[in-house]
Amino acid sequence: MAKRTTSTSGRSSTQKPVERDIIPPGTEVTDGNLFFNRELSWLAFNNRVLQLAEDASVPLMERLKFCAIYARNLDEFFMIRVARLHEQVRNRVARLVPDGTTPGETLDKLHTRILEQARRHNDCVERQLRPALSEKGLRILRMKELDAESRAQVDQRFREQIFPVLTPLAIGLGRHFPYISNLSLSLAVLLRDPVAEEETVARVKVPKEALPRFVPLKGSTAFVPLEEIIAHHLGALFPGMEVLDYGLFRVTRDADFTVSEDAEDLLVAVQTELRQRRFGDVIRLELQAGMSPKLREPLVEALGVEPLQIYEEHGLLDLADLMTLVFTPGFAELRDPPWVPITQPRLRAEGEADGITVMSAMRRGALLVHHPYESFSSSVERFVNEAVEDPDVLAIKQTVYRTSDKSPLVPALIRATESGKQAVCMVELKARFDERTNIQWALALEEAGVHVVYGIPGLKTHAKAILIVRREGERVRHYVHIGTGNYNPKTARLYTDLGLFTTDPDIGADVADLFNFLTGFARPKSFRKLLVAPINMREGLLQEIRRTAAAHSAEHPARIQMKMNALVDPAMIRALYDASRAGVKVELNIRGICCLRPGVAGVSENIRVVSTLGRFLEHSRIYLFERGGETRCYIGSADLMPRNLDHRVEALVPVEEPPLIAQVRDLLDRGLADNTHAWQLEPDGTWLRRAPEGEKRWAQGELMERSLRMAQASSGRPVP
């Protein structure tokens, strides 16, 4: 029977019928009625970030932060995803993605939408935030806005600190076009030699790696962009020449690379690829709006960019650097109220006076910790540090995907080795944009005697796991932490992540097998309880979806709830469509990319998709299945993307204790009920921001309040 579907306008219409057999299992779908474009969906996510920057109800400094995040996100998107699309076009790859779009068509659509977002982004900074912040005392000034005293101060700063760092490079006149590094900001300068009566173009790099991008004026909270100061003093850089014109430009290069599966030495291979990243193809050229053709044309020709790769920007370029201003001291009234994570109540209640440790608390039952509402330092870091000091601990094993340069966890492994314990660290060298940090940690660990493993060349290790092996009498016990986020104390205060602490013997044995898989020459065929990619995770999740669909009935309704960063995998989407057809209520909270199309009659009318953004970055991955009185719940590192399921080592761990399942269900329900910082995905691909129609719900605010109440209840005294 033919079904009604939804038109791109959002209205119901009789389009091509959507039959059940249009997506038979195992068939690659190319029907745009059922799938959204991955890249356009990501752009819609970044648009939601931009909407937070535009939101007048958000404190000014937080809006400035979202402007910087938007710009940084877009930079990475160009370096990886847009670069890949251009490569496909160059190689004449015409493969259709599930929504039926070719790489070239996707680039066209991206260009149009990015230009529109860029206009709004610039308007937000120039017309909203700069004037509003200026009224509050934080000023971003042009040179022409400076008084005589401030200009004299800037002139002195230029002579003493800026001028010595600059290296003007002429273009043309027999000179080779200079190399323009990735994400560098530069001035193109049009010069005239009054003697030879010739014109030429020069390039001056803005050295924001060595100097502040926004130069502070002494005794105030006013700043002048570094490029403004350089532009004002161009005459000093080109003595005897006439400066006819100048304009700013910025280059983005392809930063994507892969390491061969045949690499004999993974460390050397990654180091080599990092050096090559600097010389990737130019993917985007940003130009200051109104740049003279005499400046624009030589740049376009020398950099070899096409019209779709050129973006004219009004106002400041490289707005990711606004993040430095977000941390300007003071202005507390322009920020979110400070949040100090609490200690997980069971750990807080037991205290340390009687010698109770994290591991002894784990022996009483599994623990679930929710960051940043609950402290990373008093749970995960404490867990590892106590293990290092415990004479009965025999071994500590940990994965590292992304960590900070000041992380206390990695030095703890060094102390463990020094105290005679077996310490093993699986360092993922291929963690994009964190490769150098991870290489530095890996070399330091190796020097200290820690057993360092770099993973498997063809697979990234994205799983988050710590294994403590402790001698207890005549046997050993495994203490395990598996999380949804990285072992990074900095991001643990900014990202929402879950971590399970457990001594479950089957989970402990599974994690031991997982580390043997990563460090040795073994490939387990199955696991007792864990779902591990690329071994059994894909089929395990598909089976959970299918069982839930099969168990659904009017008398015993089933439900699927999932929370993740991205939903892309076609097979998983098809399975969710099948569950919806069977009548299962499917509720999805997806922060970023969603290729599933909800609300299509006969296919996905039982599927609801929301996206929550806000003060903290939603990062946890949760998969919950309710059917026939049974609840199956998993948390872990994997999103539902082909790369996670097939090309990475990922781990999902079951949450089995009823109180912990209730805790997970509660945070899922709160996110789905959010009507202040949540967007709902419509059948036409539009994300509509929710607005309160009755009770105002803000999931992150509710979880902060709940955490404070729990801490107060466990301590018996008010928590500040």
List, in sequence order, every residue forming a beta bridge with 498; answer none if it has no partner: 370
β-pair type (648-654, 460-461): parallel
Number of H helices, E strands in the chain: 22, 29
Contact 223, 234 (CB under 8 A): no
Handedness of CA 77, 78, 83, 85 (dihedral sign): positive
DSSP string, 653-674: EE--SHHHHHHHHHHHHHHHH-
H-type alpha helices, 371-504: 382-389, 409-418, 435-448
CA distance 80 to 160: 39
Nearest to 335 by CA among 136, 612, 73: 136
CA distance 489 to 577: 38
Active site residue 462: yes
Contact 491, 522 (CB under 8 A): no
Record the tokens describing residue 568, joined without a space: 């892309």
- HSE (CB half, 13 Å, CA atoms) of 32? 11
CA distance 229 to 157: 9
- H or E segment at 316? none
Contact 85, 97 (CB under 8 A): no
CA distance 140 to 130: 7
Handedness of CA 95, 97, 100, 106 (dihedral sign): negative
Q: Reduce the DSSP state of residue 305 to 3 states and report it.
A: coil
Nearest to 420 by CA among 452, 463, 389: 389
Contact 437, 401 (CB under 8 A): no
Contact 386, 393 (CB under 8 A): no
Nearest to 23 by CA among 582, 575, 716: 575
Contact 650, 638 (CB under 8 A): yes
β-pair type (687-689, 617-618): unpaired
Q: Indicate which residue of 462, 478, 552, 619 is catalytic.
A: 462
- HSE (CB half, 13 Å, CA atoms) of 434? 17
Tokens 């109180």 identify what position?
659
Contact 24, 90 (CB under 8 A): no
CA distance 658 to 570: 32
Q: What are the residue numbers of the active site?
A: 462
